[in-house]
A and B are shown apart, each in its own frame.
Chain A
């Protein structure tokens, strides 16, 4: 669910002027017959979906706002209001706001991730031998189970593990170090793991966007004497700008909500704790549900703010890969 990029990008079209709504010129079936039962019909179809949505998303969300101004421990029958103390604490106690800086590692990593994805998507959009094999291998890590990835990379980074052995193999023993034990390095290692995991999704999205460019445009460019770099700079890049913009915005909210990789690999030890790990530990280890709720509210507001900004700056209609 969390990571540098989440698969659920924002559904761009819902707000685009009632695109989801029915076309005006067609007579609505329910109303034509007009009986009270048929007017109830859509609600009967929506009964289960809405019940699940309200029970497991909206009721908890409202509770979360309520808990966030209390000192509730999650068990006791009583809870006392503490006003905005929890919020003040998140932004003033270094123990809580320091974890925001960890996000910067993942944010930086997401640029490397997007650059790699863009490079390989561009390269593979031109005719290439074994294209599908390359595509499959680059994408495959994205499909893997997070715990399997976490353990694989614990083995990768452990002393004498895959990385150290590879360095020894190419004669770089001097670079061997405590990849996960060194406080200044642990977040780099974890963010690297995140790039390995999520690059494939960016890559496949970019590749889809590039392949939807009209092939005759390449021919025209070639007739005009454009080489591959010109084609990339003046044809491919402008055509896929919307999906790059979207990926960039998702990288911001993704790096704020990093969770699985560091939780599984280090449990947040050694300065690798992220905001989400901190929130979950506050709630379920230290039983401070009030404070944890305030943290969850802060994250929610951040994500909503980023989404709002995205909708301002990325044009709605253009992100369409099909």
Chain B
């Protein structure tokens, strides 16, 4: 696909300089048209590459087993058959996976928001000895490769008795990180200190100031952090895989992962399971597009 970008470049900067002016204009215009055509062609091709793997999954998921086995990958299903979704949802225990994912996501993202906001408040509104140290600790923590750290974190989680409980992923996702702190910090800083001082004169303590004045003004930052952490929690696979191996404790990712054994070659059921996981992501993306782009660009560049 890299090769297809060439026409666009050469197309728009080819006009032969020796030719007559009107002639040059004409070739210029022709070049423009070629460039535009090449541009849309590459875009359509890229979208095709982006969507094709998922579209064939949709086709597979809608076919009953016999039809799947006897028909080609691109052959459209003869009707709308939803039996695979039912099988995936019930036998694959995806319903339970949804419940567990929802619990982990809600509690850990809620916790991460409150904890991140409190950290930002403490760092911006107070002067204290260990401030730099605290920030450096959070800064270094973000560099630590998360997966390999589990070699040692496992012993701690196990020692705290959290192994095979929903609390293991919850506490691991709940902590804040320097990116969230930075996102909150920008907003905490924009809240005028006069508001804090006025509240102090009215007898409010810091706890009240934080909850009544600061936190309600952080909504845009909360949205950003919820987007970043929410997608991470929904998509996380290895933490639940490692800490909740019990068959009774699937999350969406691990219930889908377990399809690989028993459904080995029953691709129509696996495809249905894949779609059950993808559809909520698609719905959320279509509803919250603007926030999602903002969330990921500010999350990555800060």
How many chain B residues touch A (CB < 8 A): the figure is 116
Number of A-B contacts (CB under 8 A): 319
Residue A166 lies at the interface, judged by CB distance under 8 Å to chain B: yes
A138–B274 touching, CB < 8 Å: no
Stretch at the interface among A90-98, A139-147, A174-182: A139-147
Contacts of A227 in B (CB 8 A): 12-13
Given A26-B193, A228-B35, CB of A151 within 8 Å of CB of B147? no
A296 near B127 with CB under 8 A, answer no
* A137-B53 CB under 8 A given contacts A151-B270, A284-B242, A307-B143: no
Interface-facing stretch out of A56-64, A183-191, A214-222: A56-64
Does B16 interact with chain A (Cβ within 8 Å)?
no
Q: How far is the CB of A195 from chain B (nearest CB, A)?
A: 10
**A61 and B256 contacting across the interface, CB-CB below 8 Å:** no
Give the complex CA separation of A54 and B177 in angstroms: 12
**B38: min CB distance to chain A, Å:** 9
User: Can you name the residue of chain A whose Cβ is closest to the Cβ of B234?
Assistant: A145
Interface residue from B118, B121, B196, B299 paired with A8 (Cβ < 8 Å): B299
- Is B123 in contact with chain A by the CB < 8 A criterion? yes
What separation, in Å, do the CA atoms of A139 and B282 have in the docked complex? 12
A319 to B150, CA, bound (A): 31
Is residue B298 contacting chain A, with contact meaning CB distance below 8 A?
A: yes
Asked if A276 CB lies within 8 Å of chain B CBs, one says yes
- Whether A49 lies near B176 (C-beta < 8 A) is yes
Q: With A143-B292, A146-B253, A257-B145 in contact, is A196–B50 under 8 Å at CB? A: yes
* Distance (whole angstroms) from the CB of B145 to the closest CB of chain A: 5
The 8 A CB mask of A103-133 against B (1 = contact, 0 = none) is: 0000000001001100110011000110010
Q: How large is the interface on A (under 10, 10 to 19, 20 to 34, 35 or more residues)?
A: 35 or more
- In the docked arrangement, what's the CA distance between A2 and B302, Å? 19
Bound complex: CA A284 to CA B152 (Å):
11
Chain B window 125-154, contacts with chain A (Cβ cutoff 8 Å), 1 for yes, 0 for no? 111101110111111011111111111111
Q: Given A14-B135, A155-B60, A2 and B147 touching (CB < 8 A)?
A: yes
Convert A274-296 into 0s and 1s, putting 1 for each residue whose CB lies closer than 8 angstroms to a CB of B.
00100110011000010011011
Which one, B49, B135, B139, contacts A196 given CB within 8 A?
Answer: B49
Q: Would B12 and A229 count as touching, CB distance under 8 A? A: yes
Q: A148-B256, A228-B13 are in contact. List 7 more A-B contacts (CB 8 A).
A: A2-B146, A2-B147, A56-B156, A63-B152, A74-B154, A129-B40, A196-B50
**Chain A to chain B contacts (Cβ below 8 Å), 15 pairs:** A9-B301, A29-B200, A43-B128, A45-B210, A119-B5, A137-B47, A147-B237, A152-B54, A155-B60, A169-B74, A204-B293, A229-B12, A264-B237, A284-B242, A321-B301
